[in-house]
A and B are shown apart, each in its own frame.
Chain A
Amino acid sequence: MVRPRGKPSLGRQRIEIRRIEDGERRQVTFSKRRTGLFKKASELSTLCGASVAVVAFSKAGNVFGFGEPSVDAVLRHYVPLPGDGAGAVPAPAHVEDSDAPGPEELDALRRAAEQTKAQVAAEQERMRDVADKITQAMADRQFWWEADVEALGEAELPEFARSLERLRDSLLDLTSNH
């Protein structure tokens, strides 16, 4: 019977909303949360027909932006440049650029993303299934596989080497005949 899988990680932890002191962790958090923020902004835009612009600076001074229809279009309307008339609000449906993708193309991209995400999950599931089978197959001889010098006695290592050699030689025979 397969042993129940333990939890691979701690899962979602509630964190305190305070400045992160550790530089590396802060950078990772910035990267992840920025992506998440952009994702939420894109959903708001798509679901509700809103025009959005998000601008975020990194600690290093790089600027990251997300805008639908574009950061420029939204900001230009918010703070019109001298010379701009009071133009119409840049709505997402308003395609100024003929190269810009239509809703069908965007939909296709979304589907492709969901599909790939599902494929990643499938591969990870396959990996876990095989890992279980390996654990079962190795039973209590885990150390045997790892060729751990401490755990394997001096007599066992050469035997293991011989088994591997025999296997490798059979494989060479089989593969060279194809």
Chain B
Amino acid sequence: MARKKVKLQRIANDAKRRTTFRKRLKGLTKKASELATLCGVDTCLVVYGEGEAQATEVWPSVPEATGVLERFKAMPQLDRYKKMTDLEGFLKERIGKLLEQRKKARCDADESETKLLLVEALDGRRVGLEGLTIEQLTSLGWMADARLKIVNERLEKLRGQGLLPSTTAGYIHGY
């Protein structure tokens, strides 16, 4: 199948548009069918081709779709429209979800960069901590502090178990 990025706007070429319509309609019903089967849920589809007066496609079938729509109409209005969207709403929702993803990805990447700085600094490869911005220095400080807390907790635990002397200052191996 051709895998070219299609620009999302009305296809100007009549023939191409009709072909695309048929292909995509077929794909749409397939996806609807998969959703209904995998999740065992009532689903229906009503499509009017451009300029068509009669419904081009009613899926799964007229009687079944009518059944779903009856169930839909029987719902109280509030419940019916709670999760209803159109193109604008759908696009805005999508943008919202992507912004959340971006925020998280940014956060994870920033944290990783701080971790790299910490590893390099402990390795002695960041002499004088030169060239770092105030934000980097601050984040680095917090991370070093957090690590220190964990290490000290572990040290306390070891001391409690008697595996370490209460002070390690002046402790010399073998004497």
Contacts and interface: CB of A to CB of B under 8 A. Distances in A.
Given A71-B84, A137-B116, A164-B144, A56 B48 contact: no
Contacts of B1: none
Interface residue SS majority, chain B = helix
A107 to B, nearest CB: 7
Interface residue SS majority, chain A = helix
Nearest to B40: A19
Interface in B134-166: 134, 137-138, 140-141, 144-145, 147-148, 150-152, 154-155, 157-158, 163-164
Contacts of B44: 54-55
Contacts of B102: 116, 119-120, 123
Given A65-B85, A79-B69, A147-B150, A18 B38 contact: yes
A167 B125 CA distance: 12
Given A51-B47, A55-B72, A168 B145 contact: yes
A178 B115 CA distance: 23
Contacts of B82: 62
11 contacts: A46-B8, A49-B50, A62-B79, A62-B83, A63-B75, A75-B69, A120-B98, A123-B109, A127-B112, A164-B122, A174-B137
Given A43-B8, A49-B10, 18 more contacts: A19-B38, A29-B38, A37-B31, A42-B91, A47-B6, A48-B17, A49-B50, A53-B45, A53-B46, A90-B48, A100-B88, A113-B94, A116-B102, A130-B112, A138-B119, A164-B144, A171-B129, A172-B141
Interface of A: 15, 17-20, 26, 29-30, 33-34, 36-59, 62-71, 74-75, 77-79, 89-92, 100-101, 103, 105-107, 109-110, 112-113, 116-117, 119-120, 123-124, 126-127, 130-131, 133-134, 137-138, 145, 147, 149, 154-155, 157-158, 160-161, 163-165, 167-168, 170-172, 174-175, 178
